[in-house]
């Protein structure tokens, strides 16, 4: 019984290990077109953009929270340092920010 458990656990670890080790996509290793394709396919994607930086980029406003809006930013990709993508940010015009005044 113990032997069967050990064999099963080892098999599961071998299968799950590579999946758990996969990191988020690195925009710097992709073309700008590939980045746009990935974001469009998923609706949103968390991408590495530098050694210690990453963010969540979206296809459009539908993938933001209700109190957020989209902002256009540039990220570095393999073929350009100026790949334009959208990210969500709090909408400073949202009435929720005026409640304390």
Please report whether residue 78 resides in a domain. Answer: yes
Task: Give pLDDT, residue 19.
Answer: 42
User: Is-contact 46 55, C-beta < 8 A?
Assistant: yes
Q: Is position 73 within any domain?
A: yes
Instruction: Look at residue 16 and tell me if it is in a domain.
Output: no
Domain assignment present for residue 31? The answer is yes
Number of domains into which the chain is organized = 1
Q: Is residue 9 part of a domain?
A: no
pTM here is 0.70
CA 32 to chain centre: 15
Predicted confidence (pLDDT) per residue in 31-89, tens digit = 999 999 999 999 999 999 999 999 999 999 999 999 999 999 999 999 999 999 999 99
Looking at the domain assignment, is residue 12 inside a domain? no
**pLDDT tens readout for residues 60-72:** 999 999 999 999 9
Q: Is residue 48 part of a domain?
A: yes
Question: Domain range for residue 30?
Answer: 23-95
Residue 32 within any structural domain of the chain: yes
Neighbours of 5 (CB within 10 A): 9
């Amino acid at each position: 019984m113990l032997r069967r458990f050990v064999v099963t656990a080892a098999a599961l670890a071998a299968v799950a290990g590579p999946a758990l080790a996969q990191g988020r996509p690195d925009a710097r290793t992709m073309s700008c077109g590939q980045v746009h394709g990935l974001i469009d396919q998923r609706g949103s994607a968390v991408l590495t953009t530098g050694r210690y930086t990453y963010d969540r980029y979206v296809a459009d406003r539908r993938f933001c929270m209700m109190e957020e809006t989209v902002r256009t930013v540039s990220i570095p990709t393999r073929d350009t340092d100026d790949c334009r993508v959208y990210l969500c940010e709090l909408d400073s015009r949202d009435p929720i920010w005026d409640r304390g005044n």
